[in-house]
Structure 1
Amino acid sequence: MGTAAVAAAAFLVAGGGSGPSGPRALTSDEANRLAITRFRNYEARGRAVTITVPGTAGGLIVTGSVDYRDKAGYGVVHGTGRDTSSDGLIEWTATSVFVHPMANAPAHPPASPPRSGWYGRPLQSSGSSLDSSLAIALRLGSDRPDNAELLPQNGAAWWGRDEVDGHRVDVMTGPSSRDRSGTAGSVRYWVGSDGTMHRVRVDVGSASQPVVIDFDTQKYVPVKAVPKVAPTR
């Protein structure tokens, strides 16, 4: 299990970080911060991410970057508790996945993708924990804030306080919303005092454990298109 997954699991076992635990209704300030958290990612253009993907035969960890303006991600995949057959570079959009297998994948993806050795396929809309995780990561950015008044009405709630990588955060469940990748309660956001998203945990139907996405885990590297393979956006 990766660092992100261990941290998220510790939160669940403890029932929350320091301070009282929920659930309870969002305050006005909390609703406003949850409403802008995806817009903050779009404002930043891109964020560095570590995506911990569960699996019955061992998990996967994707370390890389997501461009929230162009809706594309790029990173390196490492298996955990499994062989290295899935290791390598990966780039993805909302509809396509491109992989570059590597026997000795680096800890971080190179700034410029290799010029050859890529294989493309459609992104699966269901049945793949990896593809679900990649799609969720892309949907964590929006070109406009959400409606803060509607979030509580659609099931958003406050669950507790925590600390992520030195940042004090509030943990909130997201509302029922198709573009937010889940029903009310299935998505948790670790949100800072300025609305910055620091962690997201999402239940997916194809896995018994949640997907965990941590932000700013390394330096952001701008996403460049895979050479000679045109992504469908």
Structure 2
Amino acid sequence: MATAAVFLLAGGGTGSSGPRALSSDEANRLAITRFRNYQAHGRAVTITVPGTAGGLTVTGSVDYQGKLAYGVVHGTGRDTSSDGLIEWTATSVSVRPMANAPAHAPASPPRSGWYSRPLLSSGSALDSSLAIALKLANDRPDNAQLLPQNGAAWWGRDKVDGHPVDVMTGPSSPVRAGTAGNVRYWVGSDGTMYRVRVSVGSESRPVVIDFDTQKYVPVKPVPGVTPPR
């Protein structure tokens, strides 16, 4: 089968001790890492979004089977005008501005004060980051044999929140040759994904998506907004 959608995203990386070809075990773990997210149903995430005028941090949960995510946004190095609650799908974003946004989103989204808009396919580091986070799951493993053939590689070892991980890069996009190494995955010994780094647009720093940064809270749809099917 073809490599899956998230491997097609262009991105950045970190300094490490590789690259070298993936071993059979490493290829197998990289092939199942997005399937692990799907098996888990959902994961708690912290998404760090770069920006020239200051960054944004989204803390929340992604329901990988329901294809719906929800959390709270805080500005970093900028004012609080972007702070508030956020819920998103692959095609839409709903935001609820809050002057004093909590550290974690309430388990049930408030019933009022929401504004919805289409998710932008380009020109927004935030929207690109949200889209990437939703794509980090698949309902079946990728083809482990195709990954190294298409340029996936091992770059080094690291630890994420105490978890030993291997840092691996995804393969080239079938429609964009030469993109191998653009997305980096921090993958545990059982294929669990603990971190992803990928660049977006013209930002000089990559988006960082960390998993299990807090307890996963099941995602509920914003009242009046129909979730995707």
Same fold (TM over 0.5): yes
Paired position in structure 1 for 2:113: 117
User: What is the SS of the residue equivalent to 1:109?
Assistant: coil
What is the CA–CA distance in structure 1 between the aligned matches of 2:154 and 2:84, rounded to whole Å?
Answer: 38
Contact (CA 8 Å) 1:96, 1:232: kept in 2 or not?
A: no
Paired position in structure 2 for 1:195: 191
What is the CA–CA distance in structure 1 between the aligned matches of 2:196 and 2:43, rounded to whole Å?
Answer: 13
Structure 1 length normalisation: TM-score? 0.89
Give the superposition deviation at 1:207. Answer: 1.4
Q: Residue 216 of structure 2: which of 217, 220, 233 is its match?
A: 220
User: What is the SS of the residue equivalent to 1:49?
Assistant: strand
What is the CA–CA distance in structure 2 between the aligned matches of 1:88 and 1:183, rounded to whole Å?
Answer: 35
What is the CA–CA distance in structure 1 between the aligned matches of 2:206 and 2:72, rounded to whole Å?
Answer: 20
Paired position in structure 1 for 2:88: 92
Give the superposition deviation at 1:29. Answer: 0.2
Q: Residue 76 of structure 1: which of 72, 78, 81 is its match?
A: 72
> Structure 1, residues 7-55: CA drift from partner, whole Å, max 9, x if none?
xx9x93xx33xxxx11000000000000000000000000000000000
The one-letter code matched in structure 1 to 2:158 is: D
Contact (CA 8 Å) 1:128, 1:206: kept in 2 or not?
A: no
User: What is the SS of the residue equivalent to 1:227?
Assistant: coil
Structure 2 length normalisation: TM-score? 0.91
User: What is the SS of the residue equivalent to 2:126?
Assistant: helix
User: What is the SS of the residue equivalent to 1:62?
Assistant: strand
Identity %: 84
Give the superposition deviation at 1:222. Answer: 0.6
Give the superposition deviation at 1:178. Answer: 7.2
The one-letter code matched in structure 2 to 1:210 is: P
Is 106-115 or 204-213 further displaced after alignment? Answer: 204-213
What is the CA–CA distance in structure 2 between the aligned matches of 1:132 and 1:183, rounded to whole Å?
Answer: 17
What is the CA–CA distance in structure 1 between the aligned matches of 2:174 and 2:107, rounded to whole Å?
Answer: 33
What is the CA–CA distance in structure 2 between the aligned matches of 1:140 and 1:157, rounded to whole Å?
Answer: 18
Give the superposition deviation at 1:70. Answer: 1.1
Gaps of 5+ in 2: 1-11
Gaps of 5+ in 1: 1-8
Greater helix fraction, Structure 1 or Structure 2: 1
Matches within 5 A, 1:143-154: 143-154=139-150
What is the CA–CA distance in structure 1 between the aligned matches of 2:131 and 2:152, rounded to whole Å?
Answer: 21
Contact (CA 8 Å) 1:33, 1:193: kept in 2 or not?
A: yes
Paired residue total: 216
User: What is the SS of the residue equivalent to 2:21?
Assistant: coil
Q: Higher relative CO (CA 8 A, sep ≥ 6), structure 1 or 2?
A: 2
Give the superposition deviation at 1:223. Answer: 0.7
Paired position in structure 1 for 2:153: 157
User: What is the SS of the residue equivalent to 2:184?
Assistant: strand
Contact (CA 8 Å) 1:96, 1:231: kept in 2 or not?
A: no
What is the CA–CA distance in structure 1 between the aligned matches of 2:194 and 2:187, rounded to whole Å?
Answer: 6
Is 1:103 matched with 2:99?
yes
Paired position in structure 1 for 2:44: 48
The one-letter code matched in structure 1 to 2:106 is: P
User: What is the SS of the residue equivalent to 1:39?
Assistant: helix
RMSD of the TM alignment (CA)?
Answer: 1.7
